[in-house]
Amino acid sequence: MGIRFEGLIPAIILPLLLTMVLFLGPLIQLAMDCPWGFMDGIRVALDPWFWALCLRDMRWLRNQVVAPLTEELVFRACMLPMLVPCASPSTAMLTCPLFFGVAHFHHVIELLRFRQGSVSGIFLAAVFQFSYTAVFGAYTAFIFIRTG
């Protein structure tokens, strides 16, 4: 028991790298939807005034802070512990992320209703989002079950 220093560096770096790779999905989707050029987007992202404006925007806070915290609470802290007694931990780790991915399909309805793109483009984006949210959900479910 306790902290072992043997293998500590790989134990820190490898999960961090995997998390960064899995987070490329939302970043790629953001880059595809970005109206600015790449360098302009970098300049805006590094501007403190931009972040001050974001922190005052209630929609930004909802989308970037409240929604992810709520999703983790619902899908990891509530749903996953309820699925584990009904199925094996590995089945729960694979089932819960599917619900997590499907929960993001409401964006399709909004985009179709307001005609923001072609039907095939909207569904392609939704399938892409479902894919990376399901993979990321499986990864976080694995970490949640392994760490208690």
What distance in Å separates the CA atoms of residue 46 and residue 40, rounded to the nearest whole number? 10
- Has 104 been annotated as catalytic? yes
Catalytic site residue from 72, 104, 106, 110: 104
- Going by C-alpha positions, the residue among 126, 128, 131, 130 that lies closest to residue 110 is 126
**Whole-Å CA distances, 145 to 33, 80, 113, 129, 141:** 34, 8, 39, 24, 6
Residues constituting the chain: 148
Confirm if 50 and 111 have CB atoms less than 8 A apart: no
Catalytic site residue from 6, 71, 107, 110: 71
What distance in Å separates the CA atoms of residue 16 and residue 22, rounded to the nearest whole number? 10
- DSSP structure string for 82-110: HHTTTS-HHHHHHHHHHHHHHGGGHHHHH
* Catalytic residue numbers, as ranges: 71, 104
